[in-house]
């Protein structure tokens, strides 16, 4: 449930989650060279489901899972399922940087829609921070859209669904337990992909691929739990610009693991991203 407003704590939870979530995308991109993307999507949702849902149902009980808020929980779960599915399909055919830049239309949409869905106030600062973060993102990833195609459209659609997922994360937090909300993040996707499993499964993963597939679920659980906690402490429109920090985490992974030192232009972009977060944080004091 929504806690007493503490924007800085909400931002801290969100930033930590955004440093973790790129691992999930990297695993999906890496595995897609050898394994069907629908199978990876199933592993992402079923791994999350089998680890968490039975335990939370046992701890919280039936009343926490089925109540007046259930329809919003299911809608939220469907939004993250569709957003993830479209994004995973996109990154099988276009560079991750291009897909991520299209996905990150989400924070701007959140700023706008939070007025209608959550009754939050749009300020010029929130709009400015979202735009500064988006500009910084473009400078960091420097996407080339000369070959914009159907898969690029999939990435953009994933951003629309992701925005609605973030809106509903704040919405359900007013009434629901965070672990129940985390469980519903996977229930629709796990059920749908498991029912359809015989129609698309064709791979025979080796041991190392099975291990990597098994890692996706735990990474998702940790990162999305941090997202839920963040939206318990701060408004969706306040947190929206902070989502651009995912680009910073991607850049750090490149530096630490691939020795890819960013250029001056990329460094300036990262500073823009950080500035958008700092500005909106200072405004809440």
Domain boundaries, the chain: 7-283
Q: What percent of the chain has pLDDT over 70?
A: 84
Among 126-140, 189-203, 245-259, name the most confident range: 189-203
Residue with tokens 């809440």: 284
More confident residue, 115 or 281: 115
pLDDT of residue 75: 94
Per-residue pLDDT at 282 exceeds 60 = no
Whether 276 shows a pLDDT value over 90: the answer reads no
Mean pLDDT of the chain: 81
* 255-265 confidence digits (pLDDT tens): 666 565 667 77
Write down the H helix ranges in the chain: 7-31, 37-60, 62-65, 70-91, 96-103, 106-118, 124-141, 150-172, 178-184, 187-195, 197-200, 207-233, 236-239, 245-258, 264-283
Nearest to 244 by CA among 30, 95, 22: 22
Mean pLDDT for 33-38 is 89
pLDDT interval class at 100 (50, 70, 90): confident
Name the pLDDT band for 1 (thresholds 50, 70, 90): low
pLDDT in tens, 55-78: 999 988 888 888 888 899 999 999
Better-scored residue on pLDDT, 88 or 254: 88
CA quadruple 230, 82, 185, 25: dihedral sign: negative
Backbone angles phi, psi at 228, to 5 degrees: -60, -45
Nearest to 234 by CA among 245, 223, 222, 226: 226
Per residue in 204-246, pLDDT tens?
Answer: 889 999 999 999 989 989 998 898 888 888 877 778 777 777 7
pLDDT bin (cut points 50, 70, 90) of residue 189 is: very high
The answer to which of 111-125, 166-180, 192-206 has the lowest mean pLDDT is 111-125
- Provide the pLDDT for residue 161: 93
Give the Cα-Cα-Cα angle 228, 151, 141 (nearest 5 degrees): 65
pLDDT for the residue numbered 116: 76
């Amino acid at each position: 449930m929504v806690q007493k407003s503490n924007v800085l704590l909400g931002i801290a939870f969100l930033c930590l989650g955004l440093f973790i979530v790129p691992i999930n995308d990297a695993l999906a991109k890496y595995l897609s060279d050898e394994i069907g993307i629908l199978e990876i999507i199933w592993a992402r949702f079923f791994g999350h489901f089998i680890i968490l849902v039975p335990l939370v149902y046992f701890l919280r009980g039936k009343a926490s899972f089925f109540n007046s808020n259930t329809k919003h929980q299911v809608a939220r779960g469907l939004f993250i399922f569709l957003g993830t599915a479209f994004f995973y399909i996109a990154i099988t055919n276009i560079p991750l940087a291009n897909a991520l830049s299209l996905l990150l239309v989400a924070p701007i949409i959140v700023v706008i829609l939070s007025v209608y869905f959550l009754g939050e106030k749009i300020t010029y600062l929130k709009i400015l921070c979202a735009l500064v973060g988006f500009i910084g993102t473009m400078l960091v990833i420097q996407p080339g859209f000369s070959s914009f195609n159907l898969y690029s459209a999939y990435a953009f659609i994933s951003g629309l669904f992701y925005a609605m997922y973030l809106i509903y994360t704040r919405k359900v937090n007013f009434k629901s337990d965070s672990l129940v909300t985390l469980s519903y993040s996977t229930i629709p996707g796990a059920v749908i992909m498991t029912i359809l499993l015989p129609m698309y499964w064709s791979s025979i993963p080796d041991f190392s691929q099975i291990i990597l597939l098994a890692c996706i679920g735990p990474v998702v659980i940790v990162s999305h739990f941090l997202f839920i906690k963040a939206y318990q402490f701060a408004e969706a429109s306040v947190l929206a610009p902070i989502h651009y920090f995912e680009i910073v985490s991607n850049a750090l992974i490149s530096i630490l693991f691939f020795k890819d030192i960013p250029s001056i232009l990329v460094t300036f972009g990262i500073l823009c991203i950080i500035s958008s977060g700092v500005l909106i944080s200072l405004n809440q004091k």
